[in-house]
Amino acid sequence: MTLREDYPTAIAGVQYGANLNTIGFNMDFIVAHDPALADKLMKLYQEAANVKRSDPPASDKEQALALQQMSELMEENAKGNA
């Protein structure tokens, strides 16, 4: 995944050859244009950092839904960057 200086986000997924499904944020860009959003993202980061391998896994249905939503986001992003 490559974060660009002039773009707020990046996304990579296994369906496009990445090793992991990932989403990244260019925080310098976001802070400069929307500090409130940057604050929300940092809070979500802290929440995500607390998820541990030892936590009970979500149901198969919940995981499938989340992966479907990410797949749709990647497809939408690919169309926007074509």
Contact 1, 17 (CB under 8 A): no
The C-alpha angle with vertex 9 and arms to 5 and 14, in degrees rounded to 5, equals: 120
Tell me the whole-structure pTM to 2 decimals.
Answer: 0.77
* 16-68 pLDDT tens trace: 888 988 999 999 999 999 999 999 999 999 999 999 999 999 999 999 999 99
Closest CA to 1 of 27, 32, 30, 25: 25
Residue type for 64, please? A
- Three-state SS for 56? coil
For residue 32, the enclosing domain spans 9-80
User: Could you give the CA distance from residue 39 to residue 43 in angstroms, rounded to a whole number?
Assistant: 6
Evaluate whether residue 18 is within a structural domain: yes
Q: What local confidence, expressed as pLDDT, does residue 8 receive? A: 93
Q: What local confidence, expressed as pLDDT, does residue 34 receive? A: 98
Based on the structure, what is the number of domains in the chain? 1
Bigger pLDDT: 44 vs 81: 44
Evaluate whether residue 58 is within a structural domain: yes
Does pLDDT of 82 surpass 70? no
Evaluate whether residue 4 is within a structural domain: no
